[in-house]
């Protein structure tokens, strides 16, 4: 939908590539226009373990927009800043970090996010579009893929997933009680901080991501001996700690510590990791 709504007569878009979801976005956009990869974080090592700095971005003059993924879910790579892209609309896939901390919405042309991490149940997608970017689509765009259709109909052009909306509303109320996104962010910084500290202070566990690009939401880590992965996962499960297996493309473990994961959950993981290291390290 991004190229359909944002190309507006142009034939090129800039994509900053820092992980698996960016790669998929590039594949889709390539059906509609030329994609300039403004930075490929995997170019040297074949792996995604860092976000580029502003001066590493190779932005083109004639791009219709610039796309990036502020938090790459699978690799646990996050941008510590919002890229400056001049007068081009900045488009961001916030799926795995929306509502984890405050953002300055005015810096973005389009923000989009699946709801299933920090908003509510799967099946709901959140899109924030700058008003002047609504309504001009490429030929052949289906009605449902035109942002104007949804904007004009208050997101009720089709039958909306009402129960998912209702649950998202409850989540928003819960966030407000916690002190809004500023309050949530404090908790998230603390949760991730202690987990990364536990990993960094051990020679048994490792996280490959550059210090300034570490995700607050997704913390991948490996064991010194990958042969122990299955034992770790089984022991964790017995301790009530589940879905820690890393994505098959990365291996190892991944602790996804979204807003809904309480701090005690992170504490329990850290305690289990220390115990496991004592036994097997």
The residues of the shown chain that bind ligand PLP, judged by CB under 6 A, are: 21, 69, 73, 93, 95-96, 114
| Chain mean position to CA 252 | 19
Question: Would you say 6 and 110 are in contact if contact means Cβ atoms under 8 Å apart?
Answer: yes
Annotated catalytic residue 104: no
* Beta carbon nearer to ligand PLP, 68 or 205: 68
CB of 101 to ligand PLP, least distance (A): 16
* Beta carbon nearer to ligand PLP, 91 or 223: 91
* Beta carbon nearer to ligand PLP, 1 or 7: 1
Question: Would you say 258 and 215 are in contact if contact means Cβ atoms under 8 Å apart?
Answer: no
d(CA 223, CA 281): 9
Annotated catalytic residue 267: no
* Beta carbon nearer to ligand PLP, 73 or 207: 73
* Tokens encoding 106: 């005015």
| Chain mean position to CA 280 | 33
CB of 81 to ligand PLP, least distance (A): 18
Annotated catalytic residue 21: yes
- Per DSSP, the residues of 150-180 read HHHTTT-SS---HHHHHHHHHHHHHHHHTTH
CB of 279 to ligand PLP, least distance (A): 33
Among 14, 23, 88, 93, the one annotated catalytic: 93
Question: Would you say 108 and 79 are in contact if contact means Cβ atoms under 8 Å apart?
Answer: no
CB of 198 to ligand PLP, least distance (A): 24
CB of 119 to ligand PLP, least distance (A): 11
Among 14, 23, 88, 117, the one annotated catalytic: 117
* Beta carbon nearer to ligand PLP, 49 or 73: 73
* Beta carbon nearer to ligand PLP, 95 or 137: 95
User: In this structure, what are the phi and psi dihedrals at residue 267, rounded to the nearest 5 degrees?
Assistant: -60, -40
The sign of the torsion formed by the CA atoms of 184, 185, 191, 195 equals: positive
127's enclosing H/E stretch is strand 125-129
Burial class (CB in 10 A: 0-12, 13-18, 19+), 55: exposed
Burial class (CB in 10 A: 0-12, 13-18, 19+), 29: buried
CB of 278 to ligand PLP, least distance (A): 34
Among 21, 23, 88, 191, the one annotated catalytic: 21
Catalytic residues: 21, 93, 117
């Amino acid at each position: 939908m991004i190229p359909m709504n944002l190309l507006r007569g142009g034939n090129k878009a800039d994509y900053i590539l820092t992980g698996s979801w960016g790669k998929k976005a590039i594949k889709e956009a390539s059906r509609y226009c030329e994609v300039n990869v403004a930075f490929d974080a995997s170019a040297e090592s074949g792996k995604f373990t860092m976000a580029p700095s502003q001066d590493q971005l190779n932005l083109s003059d004639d791009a219709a927009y610039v796309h990036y993924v502020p938090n790459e879910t699978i690799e646990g790579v996050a941008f510590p800043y919002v890229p400056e892209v001049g007068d081009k609309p900045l488009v961001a896939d916030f799926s795995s970090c929306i509502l984890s901390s405050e953002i300055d919405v005015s810096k973005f042309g389009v923000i989009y996010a699946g709801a299933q991490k920090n908003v509510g149940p799967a099946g709901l997608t959140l899109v924030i579009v700058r008003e002047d970017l609504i309504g001009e689509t490429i030929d052949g765009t289906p009605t449902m893929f035109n942002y104007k259709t949804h904007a004009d109909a208050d997101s009720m052009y089709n039958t909306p997933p009402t129960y998912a909306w209702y649950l998202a509303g409850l989540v928003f109320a819960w966030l407000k009680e916690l002190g809004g996104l500023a309050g949530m962010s404090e908790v998230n910084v603390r949760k991730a901080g202690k987990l990364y500290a536990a990993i960094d202070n051990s020679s048994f566990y490792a996280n490959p991501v550059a210090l300034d690009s570490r995700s607050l939401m997704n913390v991948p880590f490996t064991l010194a001996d990958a042969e122990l992965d299955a034992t770790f996962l089984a022991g964790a499960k017995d301790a009530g700690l589940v879905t820690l297996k890393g994505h098959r493309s990365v291996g190892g473990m991944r602790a996804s510590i979204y807003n809904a994961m309480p701090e005690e959950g992170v504490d329990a993981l850290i305690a289990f990791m220390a115990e496991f290291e004592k036994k097997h390290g």
